Structure 1
């Protein structure tokens, strides 16, 4: 398999999995260990940036509305809640990084995270279905979404999107579309900040000097295009469907990995 094909496949995997509730970190790790090969930190940052750009473009009208009409009380309240969720993630995330608190990115813990996350999603979906349909984002939701993002960041395989969407749905914003929008809008500045932080570390460490920029550019473009299509599809899908099929996929995939991979692999 040529290197450009490997790069294209990694870009596709990142684009599909970054915002779907199935864990991009877990899928990229597994893809690298089972045939596509490990890439540089800068490459992984680059393809993630492509996915972030895609979701930014999808929500650009909503973002523009919030920023230009912030004097409106409803928009200002929503912006403040986005800011609080982002700050909670940033502060707790930096503390976790400084303390070195992160599970090893090996297949077994990722597989368990996929299974546990899938079971939790099914239970959470049923609990949320019993609540009245609410689109309002409360302060409790904003705080818990911020915490959920941080937790997903240090446990590979949990999925940032799954953690934040279901935190919102369970604790006040039971409407799937409203919960997903808030989770994704919080994720945009969070992921840009995380990408910038990691990029700075790579550049300072001299990792950029030996980078394959052609591969990085290809991965970025592929990831952006695929993520745009995937998120557009997801936003339409959840209007009339539950997240349960994603949960079943996570459980099946995680169990398969636990059966196929030696303990600790």
Structure 2
């Protein structure tokens, strides 16, 4: 397989999985065992493409929040977005500075997929008995921030799954409301993380050897597929639960453990 085709497939995979509750990092780690490992810079850029996609999807919502700060409801929502981002930064930065690195083996990802899938099913069953609530509380905001850090430490957990389902468990039981809040928090969080990692790589002088054609193709693929997938997901969850994603995670994780019992 050519490097360009591999880059295209990885970009598509990032766009498809970044905001679905199935773990983009986990899928990229798995895919790169077959498509070839890529640099940290490559992974940062395609993630930035997915972030750009969701920014485009929510452009009207972001504009209404920015221009409607004179309204108390909008100010409260923005402050809680900021609180979730701040918690992620305050807790996550020390983890990053401590030198935490993602594992290179698949077995931790497989276990995270299985455990996360079971967690999703349990939360869905519990919140189904509760009335729909769409108000973001301070508890939800702080919980979302912590969930994002946990997802960054354990690949396969999924940032969106961890944050959405913890938000639902903490009282934001309406799926659409929880998903929107988590996605909006993810925009500054992931832009900041990508920028930080980019500056680290630039400082170390690791950018000169990049294949910019591959990077550009993968970035555009992530933008386009990410935009399509997020638009689809926002419509899907209006009338469906996340059960299908949970089952997929469990089956994929179990399949990986059976296929790679030694965690290679």
After TM superposition, the score normalised by the length of structure 2 is: 0.98
Match of 2:199 in 1: 200
Q: 1:103 to 1:205 in 2, by over 3 A?
A: closer
d(CA) in 2 for partners of 1:132, 1:29: 38
C-alpha deviation, 1:105, in angstroms? 3.7
Report which stretch shifted further, 111-120 or 91-100. 91-100
Shift of 1:183: 0.4
1:105–1:156 Cα contact (<8 Å) kept: no
Q: Distance in 2 between matches of 1:151 and 1:198?
A: 18
Q: Is 2:256 the counterpart of 1:251?
A: no
Per-residue CA deviations over 1:124-146 (Å, capped at 9, x if unaligned) read 11111111101110111001001
Whole-angstrom CA distance in 1 between matches of 2:229 and 2:32: 21
Match in the other structure for 2:18 = 18
Deviation string for 1:122-178 (max 9, x for gaps)? 001111111110111011100100100111011100000000110111111100000
Matches within 5 A, 1:1-265: 1-33=1-33, 35-101=34-100, 104-265=103-264
The Cα of 1:189 is off from its aligned counterpart by 0.3
Larger deviation, residues 93-102 vs 202-211: 93-102
The unaligned stretches of length 5 or more in structure 2 are: none
| Distance in 1 (alpha carbons) for counterparts of 2:204 and 2:127 | 46
Cα distance change of structure 1 residues 9 and 92 upon mapping to structure 2, 3 Å threshold: same
Contact map agreement 1:96 1:102 (CA 8 A) in 2: no
1:167-206 CA-to-partner distances (Å, cap 9, x unmatched) read 1111111000000000000000000000000100111111
Deviation at 1:262, TM superposition (A): 3.2
CA distance in 2, matches of 1:232, 1:207: 35
Q: Aligned to 1:223, what secondary structure does the other structure show?
A: helix
Distance in 1 of aligned mates of 2:102 and 2:188: 24
- Number of residue pairs the alignment of both structures matches: 264
- Partners in 1 of 2:5 and 2:49 — Cα distance? 17
Find the aligned partners of 2:103 and 2:45 in 1 and give their Cα distance: 22
Shift of 1:99: 2.9
**Given that residues 117 and 246 in structure 2 are in contact (C-alpha distance below 8 angstroms), is that contact kept between their aligned partners in structure 1?**
yes
C-alpha separation in 1, matches of 2:263 and 2:238? 39
> What is the CA deviation profile of residues 237-263 of structure 1, one whole-angstrom value per residue up to 9, with x for unaligned ones?
000000000000000000000000132
Contact preservation (8 Å) 2:257, 2:263: no
Asked whether the equivalents of residues 89 and 149 of structure 1 are also in contact (C-alpha less than 8 Å), the reply is: yes
Q: Distance in 2 between matches of 1:212 and 1:111?
A: 30
Structure-2 separation of matches of 1:212 and 1:70 = 43
1:4-29 deviations in Å (ceiling 9; x for gaps): 11111001110000000000001000
Structure 2 distance, partners of 1:103, 1:4, is: 25
Give the TM-score of the pair, scaled to structure 1: 0.98
Contact conserved, 1:102 with 1:155, CA < 8 A, in 2?
A: no
